[in-house]
Chains A and B, each alone.
Chain A
């Protein structure tokens, strides 16, 4: 049970926030994370078109052998991605809380430019309080 990291992807596919909590996944450069966020944005759009039955949302959970990525797509197109261990059950509620923190500490901040990287101490503190060091 561990939370490895959190990404916030804006509606254009740009990574506006990225933070690692627990170790366990590879340490990548910020450039690599940017590429990965863009890829995920594209994949997310394609997965909704591949539905064999009716209309579908984009990918909500992507699983590897030892970790999973849980994706929350908001109504405005912002994506919150949480990287956790497979057994983690709190990923969805945590993402909802992160969305709340984002609304409070980022969107209500008059000095924040929408769609730009998030540099807000308030948001950082809220996330730390929410996720902690990654080991609950």
Chain B
């Protein structure tokens, strides 16, 4: 059992945060303008910049689990912005991998359609909880303020809504909502910051389903 990835969407349908763990099939980086800034440095459009300038950005996290070419998750604090790890040709040529921005839109489209379908079928204000395929299970938790927390896990896991709720109650409120430097609802800025990322990482890695 394992956890693959976490997406957070705001109420304007935009993906504001992304993190992944045991993902074997990674998305390609998003195209320029496809996603907001500060969603995840791992999938942001790759701009040719001096590594020093890239590291000095307040929002760029030094943790970049996606650029490890071995599939082994890079440890916290490890410098991962070496140019050698930029998208290898083999990764780029895999035609069935989507760029991150398209993937994020597809995930949002699916949860929105399923949410509407469940509401309509039940005839009351019932929430869509999860769906399962042969390879993964997707869980959704929606807050009153319209933030949607989406987690992809192993198909054998039970409901993970409580985890998404914990992420909202703990790290999200503490490091995003109460953080004056994070402009929520801005439509141009994601919510990524080091404390939030590290805190979510710690929470997810501490789960019994995370192996």
Contact = CB atoms under 8 A, between A and B. Distances in A.
B133 A58 contact: yes
Interface in A35-57: 36, 39-40, 42-43, 46-57
A56 B113 contact: no
A25 interface: yes
* Contact-residue bracket for chain B: 35 or more
A62 B136 CA distance: 12
Contacts of A42: 113
A40 B132 CA distance: 14
Contact of B107 (A50, A58, A62): A50
A46 B111 CA distance: 11
Given A39-B113, A63-B129, A65-B127, A51 B136 contact: yes
B126 interface: yes
A61 B131 contact: yes
Interface string B9-32: 000000000001011110000000
A55 B113 contact: no
B121 A83 contact: yes
B150 to A, nearest CB: 10
Contact of A67 (B24, B110, B121, B136): B121
Interface of chain B, helix or strand or loop or mixed? Answer: mixed
Interface string B104-145: 001101100110011011111011111111111010000000
Given A51-B136, A57-B134, A36 B129 contact: no
Contact of A48 (B5, B132, B133): B133
B120 A56 contact: no
Contacts of A58: 133
Contacts of B79: none
A50 to B, nearest CB: 6
B127 A56 contact: no
B172 interface: no
A43 to B, nearest CB: 5
A51 B123 CA distance: 30
Given A25-B122, A46-B106, A50-B106, A61 B132 contact: yes
Contacts of A50: 103, 106-107, 110, 136, 138, 152
Contacts of A53: 4, 22-25, 135-136
12 contacts: A43-B113, A46-B106, A49-B96, A49-B98, A50-B107, A53-B25, A53-B136, A54-B135, A55-B135, A62-B118, A64-B129, A83-B121
Top 9 A-B residue pairs of the complex, sorted by shortest distance between their CB atoms:
A26-B123, A56-B135, A52-B4, A57-B134, A64-B118, A62-B131, A53-B24, A59-B131, A51-B135
